[in-house]
Structure 1
Amino acid sequence: MNQPVKQYKYYDFVMAAFVTVLLCSNLIGAAKAAQVTLPVLGTISFGAGVLFFPISYLFGDILTEVYGYGRDRRVIWAGFAALLFAAVMSVVVLALTPVADAFNQDYQKHLTAVFGNTPRIILGSITAFWSGSFVNSYVLAKMKIATKGRHLWLRTIGSTMCGELVDSSLFYVIAFYGIWSDHQLITVAIAQYLLKTGWEVVMTPVTYKIVGFLKHKEQEDFYDRHTNFTPFRLKV
């Protein structure tokens, strides 16, 4: 006899927040190049979306820590589908011929500037997100078992370091290899990686608060001792 599926009060809200952050960080911030001056590193350039994209990893950590790898896997696939739809929609909208008046002709130029990412950048973004998110979730789940649920900070930071390493490496190689010089490619990738993982460190107190709240409210603290870790399934 099958066991009834446990219902959660906040899981759907966390999923919605994850997908929202993912879409916004890829659509709103990705087109803007910003710069900041940091100690030792000096002035570095980065995509503005990098300030918000790491929040998706924070949600990934929370989902795996509270609900387990299987339920985080469903959320990652939801995010992947949302990114893919956004990419297809942007291509279709930009391909449509605008009305031949001054406003729409000018508006088309702005739309192209913001949403007209090259196929390589779109491919790099989706591939990097999918791969990095699964690495992050897998590492955290395994570390939780190894640490017997202790040292949450070590699991969240350690898993993010692994996931973001895969994410940053894949994205810049797929999107810009052969376009940028090898030196520029490596320098920007390292800077982005440090910024993203640094966010996880800064947000650790927030992660502790949210995880504690959800574990208490959901009466759940999942351990992936018998989990099938293949990424290619939706079943929990």
Structure 2
Amino acid sequence: MEIGNKAQKLFLVFTGLFVANAILAELIGVKIFALEDTLGIAPLNWNLFGQTGSLNFTAGTLLWPIVFIMTDIINEYFGRRGVRFISWLAVFLIVYAFAFAFAAIALAPASWWVTVGAANGVPDMQAAFAQIFGQGMWTIAGSITAFLIGQLIDVAIFHAIRKRTGEKHIWLRATGSTLVSQFLDSFVVLYIAFVIGPQKWSIGLWLAVGCVNYAYKVFAAIALTPLIYAARRGLDAWLGKDLSEELKTKAAEA
């Protein structure tokens, strides 16, 4: 009974962390930050596809590498079914969160609350609230579509590599699957949200911003790879050898 409880507790913890990270990435993704200014260095003035400028990223990129690293760990112990279940649950809860965000925006604000932030440079709290939480439907649709495509591609490549390498080369199936899925994720979300969306980005701008965001995600995925090994050692120790091997074997066979 204790063995089953440990596996269930582990899956519950992963589900909670995964969904929390996915929703947070969507909510904070409305902010665009300048990497050079954040690091206190001079602008790099990149030049790609006829576009120049500083390195600007959505704040959501801080969390998405963690989401995809978690996907690989879930893949390792719970296989395709586990990843698909958590991915669809995350999508449902993202839609759920935004539905209530739009409902909150529609509520009539208290007259005193609208100007309560004026002293801090926010003259209209209702407008600020609507701007932050009322992301355009194109952005939401693009993000969710890219997320699902990325997850499905990630799990497929992960298990294709695992089938050929067995338990060896954890870094290859983890990093390889993330690099491919993140490539699609980076460009799909921008294309839906900003190219066919109301802003009508040029193809050059789409490619340039997509490449910059993908380069960041590649760096983050490689840098975080050691965490997979550390997490696996910790989970193997907590689960015990027998349960750990049982979970990984079932995940590989599913």
- TM-score by length of structure 1 reads 0.86
RMSD: 2.1
State which of 104, 108, 119 in structure 1 corresponds to 2:114: 104
Alpha-carbon distance in 2 for matches of 1:207, 1:225: 17
Partner of 1:209 in structure 2? 230
Partner of 1:24 in structure 2? 24
- 1:144 is displaced (CA, Å) by 0.9
State which of 161, 168, 171 in structure 2 corresponds to 1:153: 171
Flag the structure with higher helix content: 2
State which of 51, 58, 63 in structure 1 corresponds to 2:69: 58
Equivalences for residues 73-222 of structure 1 within 5 A:
73-99=84-110, 101-104=111-114, 106-178=124-196, 179-218=200-239, 219-220=243-244, 221-222=248-249
Deviations 1:96-122 (A, max 9, x none): 2223x1423622112112111111001
Deviations 1:175-232 (A, max 9, x none): 01151111111100111111112111001111111122223433232355553xxxxx
Partner of 1:230 in structure 2? none
Alpha-carbon distance in 1 for matches of 2:81, 2:56: 36
Deviations 1:38-66 (A, max 9, x none): 87958311111111221100110000012
Letter in 2 for 1:14: F
Alpha-carbon distance in 2 for matches of 1:184, 1:222: 45
Alpha-carbon distance in 2 for matches of 1:83, 1:183: 30
- 1:138 is displaced (CA, Å) by 1.6
Contact 2:27–2:133 (CA<8 Å) still a contact in 1?
yes
Query: Identity across aligned pairs (percent)?
Result: 25
Letter in 1 for 2:35: V
Q: Size of the alignment, in residue pairs? A: 221
- 1:86 is displaced (CA, Å) by 1.2
Alpha-carbon distance in 1 for matches of 2:249, 2:152: 17
Alpha-carbon distance in 1 for matches of 2:236, 2:153: 23
Contact 1:128–1:168 (CA<8 Å) still a contact in 2?
yes
- 1:26 is displaced (CA, Å) by 1.2
Asked which structure has the greater RCO (Cα within 8 Å, sep 6+), the reply is 1
Q: Relative to 1, partners in 2 of residues 1:46 and 1:156: Cα closer, same or farther, differing over 3 Å?
A: same
- TM-score by length of structure 2 reads 0.80
2:55 is paired with a residue whose SS is: strand
Alpha-carbon distance in 1 for matches of 2:35, 2:237: 39
1:98 is paired with a residue whose SS is: coil
Contact 1:141–1:223 (CA<8 Å) still a contact in 2?
no
Letter in 2 for 1:20: A
Alpha-carbon distance in 1 for matches of 2:133, 2:26: 10
**Unpaired runs of at least 5, structure 1:** 228-236
**Unpaired runs of at least 5, structure 2:** 37-42, 48-53, 116-123
Contact 1:124–1:172 (CA<8 Å) still a contact in 2?
yes
Larger Rg: 2
Letter in 2 for 1:32: K
Contact 1:164–1:196 (CA<8 Å) still a contact in 2?
yes
